[in-house]
């Protein structure tokens, strides 16, 4: 029973980490887009 709960919690933590990573990637992409648009002006 407790083992099952631990697995569930680990999966939740993994999902949180993935979400955080994708958010960071998105922010980096937006920064790159801003730099490119600034460079093209």
pLDDT at 1: 59
pLDDT at 4: 82
* Residue 15: how many other CB atoms lie within 10 Å: 10
pTM over 0.85: no
Give the H or E element holding residue 41: none
Q: What are the helix and strand counts (H, E) for the chain?
A: 1, 0
pLDDT at 40: 87
Give the 3-state secondary structure of residue 1.
coil
Give the pLDDT means over successive 10-residue stretches in the chain (41 positions).
82 94 97 94 78
Residue located via tokens 């887009």: 33
Radius of gyration of the chain (CA): 18
């Amino acid at each position: 029973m407790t083992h099952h709960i631990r697995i569930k919690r680990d999966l939740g933590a993994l999902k949180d980490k993935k979400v955080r990573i994708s958010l960071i990637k998105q922010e980096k992409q937006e920064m790159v887009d801003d730099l490119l648009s600034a460079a093209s002006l």
